[in-house]
Amino acid sequence: MFPELKNDRLLRAIKRQPVDCTPVWIMRQAGRYLPEYRATRKQAGDFLTLCKTPELACEVTLQPLRRFPLDAAILFSDILTIPDAMGLELSLDEGVGPRFAKPVRSRADIEKLPVLDIASDLGYVTDAVTLIRNELDGLVPLIGFTGSPWTLMTYMVEGGSSKDFALAKGMLHDDPESAHLLLQKVTDAVIEYLKAQAAAGAQVLMVFDSWGGALSDHTYSLFSLQYMQQIVGALKADPVAKDIPVSLFTKGGGNWLERIAETGCDVVGLDWTVSMDSARQRIGSSVALQGNMDPTVLYASPDKVSQEVERIVNEFGAHDGHIFNLGHGIHPGIDPENVSALVETVHRASKR
């Protein structure tokens, strides 16, 4: 159905097989730091139109690959597509961030949330996946993704971004039954969403638990990790998705690497607060590791960027199973030349 894959470094690294050099891709690699992205966004008129128009989503997904010899494409979309499809009325304005006109604050709000029909409610995403996969013509693998149930819950309950998650955490402690009901509804939707991305052509599936690190040890297991484990289990049992690797990334999750690896996922993402060497010793024999350069290093000179890349590559050492990435998304103010230095250095420094 799809063209044969020409560069399989990412998939080989995920299986912890030998590669000629370490594969690299960058969280938010299609984004505001690229002038061509800003031009396409202007053409779209607003961010949501960009996300919801498969041809434009395809164009911005491919833009970084025309500039840099990256080893993967990642679907251009947003983690908040599911709550938006549930009727919370998402708006995204630069400088303000995401906002929901109809946040979920009560048991009644949760019970009213609809069961999504992915084909009709989120078909623009799966259409984009298939279009991108075809347009890539086998150049590199395509990564599909979602936000984690807990991360989506924070936006749904808070009504947008938050520094302290007072309302979402308040629900966890004051009304855990309602919190679990909301998380289960979101989890069920995430599972169907990722299955649909797999069926549409995604070759890796990633779950971004952006706000898992805001939880305590106890609440992380109860309200974030157990739902990600459900997602992994459901995908591994699905006839279409069972052979698609699954990657879990909890920002601030360094204390829980062993528990994350035990979910049955194939890749564990690392932020910059964990050393690559210690992560490899702790879980590197059971999963591939993805990460973990501090995105702010890209504000430095190209020479400093290259030095930090070499340090991380050397820290991981001559072992299989490393996917180089940032420890979180690239910042909008980064010079693309520094990204060139990063990608080139990963490939050069890791040559086997």
- Active-site position among 9, 16, 41, 133: 41
- Active-site position among 9, 16, 28, 99: 28
Decide if 32 is catalytic.
Answer: yes
Decide if 133 is catalytic.
Answer: no
Decide if 78 is catalytic.
Answer: yes
Q: Are 26 and 331 in contact (CB under 8 A)?
A: no
Q: What is the pTM of this model?
A: 0.97
- Active-site position among 155, 193, 220, 227: 155
Q: Where exactly are the structural domains of the chain? A: 9-349
| CB atoms near residue 11 (< 10 Å) | 20
| CB atoms near residue 160 (< 10 Å) | 17
- Active-site position among 12, 32, 67, 259: 32
Q: What is the architecture of the domain spanning 9-349?
A: Alpha-Beta Barrel (3.20)
Tokens of 178: 């309602």
Q: What pLDDT tens digit does each residue of the chain (352 aa) get?
A: 899 999 999 999 999 999 999 999 999 999 999 999 999 999 999 999 999 999 999 999 999 999 999 999 999 999 999 999 999 999 987 777 899 999 999 999 999 999 999 999 999 999 999 999 999 999 999 999 999 999 999 999 999 999 999 999 999 999 999 999 999 999 999 999 999 999 999 999 999 999 999 999 999 999 999 999 999 999 999 999 999 999 999 999 999 999 999 999 999 999 999 999 999 999 999 999 999 999 999 999 999 999 999 999 999 999 999 999 999 999 999 999 999 999 999 999 999 6
DSSP assignment of 64-81 equals HHHHS--S-EE----TTH
